[in-house]
Amino acid sequence: MKTDLSTFNNDWYKPGASLLKRVCWYCLSAVFFTSRLPGNRFKIFLLRLFGAKIGKKVVVKPSVNIKSPWLLEVGDYSWIGEAVWIDNLVRVRIGRHACISQGAMLLTGNHNYKKTTFDLVTGEIIIEDGAWVGAKAIMCPGVTCGSHALLTVGSVATGRLEPYGIYRGNPAVKIRDRVIC
């Protein structure tokens, strides 16, 4: 058997918003999010306007790419660093006091490489309270990052990260417990 992309069909997938809403978001995010423009309060306003659930004192740095704000939840006092890519085809939930460092990627979609049709597969990402996703780290579809867990720089999470664990590598494995003083 061989991959046959001519048979690819993801008609089952619904992005959760009208075409008009998606086009408006695309245009506004190109100016105010993916650019280097500062303006955290205005970004928070836009995210909420487009349906994101954003807590208090959330920080969103420049050059952030969020595919679907209507599928995003961010808890109080969390940070989203520069050049973070939240490719949320389905819900992404970021808890309170969580940190997503610069260049990290949260990917909720992938393809089933075992199927000739290369079917789209999706899975929610949950980042619990106090967790930290390091710079250039990648979280794959369906991953939960437990409370206060740490995914180190450049690591790739493909499965559950247990609370207070420090994870490194590709795929990320637990290297020790996180002790917070």
> What is the spatial distance between Cα 55 and Cα 108, in angstroms, rounded to a whole number?
22
3 in a structural domain = no
CATH number at residue 109: 2.160.10.10
The whole-number pLDDT of residue 101 equals 98
pLDDT digits (tens, 9 = 90+) for 107-164: 999 999 999 999 999 999 999 999 999 999 999 999 999 999 999 999 999 999 999 9
With 80 as the cut, is the pLDDT of residue 38 above it? no
10 in a structural domain = no
5 in a structural domain = no
Place 80 in a pLDDT band, splitting at 50, 70 and 90: very high
With 90 as the cut, is the pLDDT of residue 36 above it? no
With 80 as the cut, is the pLDDT of residue 37 above it? no
The whole-number pLDDT of residue 34 equals 82
93 in a structural domain = yes
> What is the spatial distance between Cα 168 and Cα 40, in angstroms, rounded to a whole number?
31
Percent of the chain with pLDDT over 90: 94
The whole-number pLDDT of residue 71 equals 98
CA atoms within 13 A on the CB side of 39: 14
Q: Please state the domain count of the chain.
A: 1
2 in a structural domain = no
- Exposure string of 17-54, with b = 16+ CB inside 10 Å and e = fewer, is beeebbeebeeebeebbbeeeeeeeebbebbeebebeb
> What is the spatial distance between Cα 103 and Cα 151, in angstroms, rounded to a whole number?
13
Q: How would you class 72 by CB atoms within 10 Å of its CB: exposed for 0-12, middle for 13-18, buried for 19 or more?
A: buried
Coil, strand or helix at 116: coil
11 in a structural domain = no
> What is the spatial distance between Cα 168 and Cα 171, in angstroms, rounded to a whole number?
8
12 in a structural domain = no
* Structural domain harbouring 137: 17-177
Contact in structure between 150 and 132 (CB atoms under 8 Å)? yes
